[in-house]
Amino acid sequence: FPNPANEKVVVTNGSSFPLSYELITVSGIVIQSGMIGVGKTSLDIQHLSEGIYFVKFGEKELRKLIVKK
């Protein structure tokens, strides 16, 4: 997942089952959510404004995402 990114991020799910994700603003608002299949999945982020976001994978993993235009 390129970080910073501007159009899409590629996420690799190394588990043997799909994983939920949430894209969250620094204010804690969930602005996008869905499921990530097994293997590599692209998430479209071109609609996002420049700034810092968080991506929550499942119930445990949280990563910072920087969007630059």
Q: Is the predicted pLDDT of residue 1 greater than 90, yes or no?
A: no
pLDDT of the residue at 69 = 84
Q: What's the pTM value of the predicted model, to 2 decimals?
A: 0.87
Q: Is the predicted pLDDT of residue 2 greater than 90, yes or no?
A: no
- Conformational region of residue 51, where left means phi above 0, alpha means psi within -120 to 50, and beta covers everything else: left
| Burial category of 55 from C-beta neighbours within 10 Å (exposed 0-12, middle 13-18, buried 19 and up) | buried
pLDDT, tens digit (0-9, with 9 covering 90-100), for 5-59: 989 999 999 889 999 999 999 999 999 999 999 999 999 999 999 999 999 999 9
- Give the residue from 40, 41, 42, 53 showing the smallest Cα distance to 4: 53
